[in-house]
Structure 1
């Protein structure tokens, strides 16, 4: 009995030069145009995206931005030099030259450094989050393109079925065993199958282009996707996954923002203490022909501005960061549970289609076709069986899409979750 195999990809042999050329593309040794007509798998798509996606390249710049902020936070204020002249008459003028250095009191510099250092950690966590997001986008785009590729293969198989049915009907009509109406039905079915093939070709081209864009290329440099399976694998157990929630980049980032806002509050409190400015200089009186040394201390009086407004804002931001951390945890727990449920449900559907529905639909087509050839069934039974098989294949791909999208949602938060798909 024929059995529907979900691994319907056409196997193509890869010669060593093709693999070497693809590796060269990933490492930037040759241009993408030189690899037109090659195949690509998920690992290669992920590697290319991490190296070439412009959004990821922009995200990496945040590390340097945070490093610059940390460097700036550690610098001390610049000294000031001044020159003054009293009385513009040459013989009676008095000139003064002095240099002043502001001294930050109250731990202002240390507080700035702490805030900027925490900012460096947050930037690193944001990059990890963006890496997980890009990985999820590539997984979604790759499997969408793989399903489109498989959909085209299945549409061509359906076209073969309808062409075979038309040949059988034509033979029976010429032999006077069937009505010409059945030939008309077969021709309509054939036209629909050809339309489905054209639609599948368009969907495949669009999905390939989207995958190419995510991997950082404006043009499609591959003509075939290679994967051992269409399935995204089985979902992990919710308890095991939720136990890793505190280690996810988004949760760690939310906690780090609490620390950063607490440090910002400390920095604003330190601003209440006025800075001391120390100055030294020299003054020369031409009328007396006398030079004197100058030493000065200055400090603003915190009578009105004690930075109370900024302290209040920083305190509220610290409270806000704690509320946001709780909101992030609640959202991630809910999204995780929902995605895992969708993943598990979709995989149950996939299993049902793979083990029962599709093999039965294929058997019904074969049985109806043989029965029609023997004159036991009318062609309407053949059409019904073919349409059932076509619809079932489409629903099978829809279930795979739901499972893959749920997996991508999980990996957007947790990174690689170790599914049975076997591809990192």
Structure 2
């Protein structure tokens, strides 16, 4: 067996054993953005917590629809005559039944308020999904950016190492002054420092993405750096109308406003009397009596001034928050569209000519330097121009992805 075959067999055995240990091979751990989205939506504890809040709101609707239970009272005692009284001695027993009546002016506002709370919980779940999906996309593209920066810095380090070796050799042979080597050392150290910083930023970005997806994501995961094509968003006027109708944050605030409105109606309805049906039966040695009647709670002293005022204030607060939220969402949408247009224009300009021309200029400068026609400083100038253009392209691509993610968040598009 050749050495290459042994090496391949060893790698395969390692990947198989790592799979049994809930690890993944480096080749199989590369995940795309849809893979990460599916993993997060299927196993995220935060999303399960939002779903539990919806279940709680659904249970609150059932609670609001519940009819009050009857109250049964049973009392036993003895009957002893006074001295000189000839009434017989015996036991006394009283049975009473009380059923509170759930009056329509109390029941309907309570149930409608609970339904509005359930709708608010559902809208809050959708809004939370949109927010956490936008965070995932931002952290994914941030990791892609950091990996691209790290790869670019590695290229700079390799270039500087080659130039440094060439200058060191020329200094030893007396072709260059030692000052050239000092400048090359400084440039090499600067490139190595930037490489160390880029490695830390990659590690931080990977940790942030894993913290959002969950611990089920292996620590050694890698992302597929596939080029994402961001299609031109729909016209702003159409998206604005869509957002005003379907945005879950607005739907949540509107449902909360309806809930406060129903709460105000409920508090006002509590000023009306409450009624209960009551039936009693008394048993003693001589008589058996039955009584049926209607009990009424009269709001004589408590007119619910405090609760009504509190509900009215919350309703007013919710109305103002809704108006502010509508304006804020429209402004955020317009800002995201502007950021998308700016980043898209920068990306197209950098990809179509600026970066390519800067790379060609650096390659020509390297060849001329090797031929002795260019100086070390001219190569460094060309490298700085190329590095700046390349970093601007990486940043513009990330800003384009950020603007796209923000537009999708406001539109509340989820898988």
Measured in 1, the distance between the counterparts of 2:410 and 2:205 equals 24
Q: Is the 8 A contact 2:78 2:92 kept in 1?
A: yes
Deviation string, structure 1 residues 11-30 (Cα, Å, up to 9, x no partner):
xxxxxxx9xx9xxxxxxxx9
Measured in 2, the distance between the counterparts of 1:139 and 1:32 equals 29
Would you say 1:413 and 2:410 are equivalent positions? Answer: yes
CA gap of 1:32–1:353, structure 2 versus 1, over 3 A, is: farther
Q: Is the 8 A contact 2:71 2:99 kept in 1?
A: yes
Measured in 2, the distance between the counterparts of 1:152 and 1:161 equals 14
Measured in 1, the distance between the counterparts of 2:404 and 2:20 equals 32
Shift of 1:398: 2.5
CA gap of 1:249–1:41, structure 2 versus 1, over 3 A, is: same
Measured in 2, the distance between the counterparts of 1:302 and 1:256 equals 31
Would you say 1:134 and 2:132 are equivalent positions? Answer: yes
CA gap of 1:50–1:100, structure 2 versus 1, over 3 A, is: same
Measured on the aligned residues, the alpha-carbon RMSD in Å equals: 2.6
Measured in 2, the distance between the counterparts of 1:361 and 1:111 equals 69
1:358 to 349, 355, 360: 355
Measured in 2, the distance between the counterparts of 1:99 and 1:163 equals 95
Measured in 1, the distance between the counterparts of 2:206 and 2:44 equals 16
Counterparts of 1:180-195 in structure 2 under 5 Å?
180-195=178-193
Give the corresponding residue for 1:273.
272
CA gap of 1:415–1:32, structure 2 versus 1, over 3 A, is: farther
Q: Name the TM-score, length of structure 2 as normaliser.
A: 0.86
Give the corresponding residue for 1:83.
74
Measured in 2, the distance between the counterparts of 1:78 and 1:402 equals 60
Shift of 1:93: 5.8
Shift of 1:87: 6.5
Q: Is the 8 A contact 1:336 1:410 kept in 2?
A: yes
Shift of 1:141: 0.6
Q: Relative contact order: is structure 1 or structure 2 higher (C-alpha 8 Å, sep ≥ 6)?
A: 1
> Across the two proteins, how many residue pairs are aligned to each other?
389
Would you say 1:264 and 2:255 are equivalent positions? Answer: no
Deviation string, structure 1 residues 272-318 (Cα, Å, up to 9, x no partner):
222211111211233xx211112232112222223343333323333
Q: Is the 8 A contact 2:134 2:405 kept in 1?
A: yes
Counterparts of 1:111-260 in structure 2 under 5 Å?
111-174=109-172, 176-217=174-215, 220-229=218-227, 234-246=232-244, 247-260=246-259
Shift of 1:157: 1.2
Give the corresponding residue for 2:85.
none
Q: Is the 8 A contact 2:271 2:303 kept in 1?
A: yes
Would you say 1:313 and 2:310 are equivalent positions? Answer: yes
Shift of 1:218: 7.0
* DSSP 3-state at the match of 1:268: helix
Shift of 1:236: 4.3
Give the corresponding residue for 1:11.
none
Deviation string, structure 1 residues 399-419 (Cα, Å, up to 9, x no partner):
2333333333222221349xx
Shift of 1:243: 2.0
2:380 to 372, 379, 383: 383
Larger mean Cα displacement after TM superposition, 173-182 or 138-147: 173-182
Give the corresponding residue for 2:39.
48
* DSSP 3-state at the match of 1:376: coil
Q: Name the TM-score, length of structure 1 as normaliser.
A: 0.84
Measured in 1, the distance between the counterparts of 2:149 and 2:191 equals 12
- Structure 1 runs of 4+ aligned residues shifted over 6 Å read none
Shift of 1:241: 1.9
Shift of 1:109: 1.9
Give the corresponding residue for 1:371.
368
* DSSP 3-state at the match of 1:35: coil
